[in-house]
Amino acid sequence: MTVRVMLVSPAMNAALREARFDGDAPLDPAGERSARAAAPALPRSGTALSGPSERCLGTAAALGLAARPEPALTGWDLGRWSGRRLDEVGAAEPAAVAAWMGDPSAAPHGGESLRELVERVGGWLDGVPGAEDGGVLAVAEPAVVRAAAVHALALPVKAFWRLDVAPLVLTELNGRSGRWNVRLGRPLTAPQGS
């Protein structure tokens, strides 16, 4: 049976603007306004889920979704780097950052490796049951969306670093375990100046 999974990246917040490793920061007022404005562009679905972070749950609420938290959609566990800025960690631990970005199995921060993230998200994706009711719509952190795309397309894990996921963008995956089609990057908001 064909499965339809639609992943929406959460709205902007202060941590994302500051290039911080996620942590668990809520939406700021601008992010909440953006999510409310994007709500009319959401596709219909039968099931609404959300990553358990405050940012994902806040985005789901602002989008008007009665989403239940899904632990498998938890953002990337970056251990002791969580909440810190990338430039700060890079200056303090350049070799660790280089290892983390160069080796998908490395986890110098004490959290989850990139390979483990892709495997976790891929396991969830392959386990989503087929639905006749419009599929699954989930608000998920950008790293989770990127990991889903890498898994669905059977890309090398290092391809993760070549994918960008902007706030409030819809990524659609259709298929089933072992055979997915991916539609990347449909913004839920009108471009500026439109």
Q: Give pLDDT, residue 42.
A: 93
pTM for the structure as a whole: 0.92
Mean pLDDT of 97-106: 96
Give me the helix-helix angle, 114-127 and 142-152, nearest 10°.
70
d(CA 72, CA 51): 8
Q: What is the pLDDT of residue 184?
A: 82
State the pLDDT at residue 192: 44
The pLDDT of residue 72 is: 95
**In the chain, pLDDT over 90 holds for what percent of residues?**
72
Is-contact 189 37, C-beta < 8 A?
yes
What domains can be seen in the chain, in order of their start residue? Answer: 3-187 (3.40.50.1240)
Binning pLDDT at 50, 70 and 90, where does residue 194 land?
very low
- The pLDDT score that the predictor gives to residue 130 is 64
Of 5, 44, 24, 9, residue with least CA distance to 122? 5
pLDDT in the model for residue 179: 87
As a whole number, mean pLDDT of residues 131-149 equals: 89
Q: Tokens 């397309």 sit at which residue?
A: 153
Per-residue confidence (pLDDT) for residue 1, from 0 to 100? 72
Q: Is the pLDDT of residue 132 over 70?
A: no
Token couple for 90: 């890079």
Q: How confident is the model over 11-17, as a mean pLDDT?
A: 83
- Residue 187 is predicted with a pLDDT of 81
In the predicted structure, residue 59 carries a pLDDT above the cut 50:
yes
Computed over every residue of the chain, the mean pLDDT equals 90
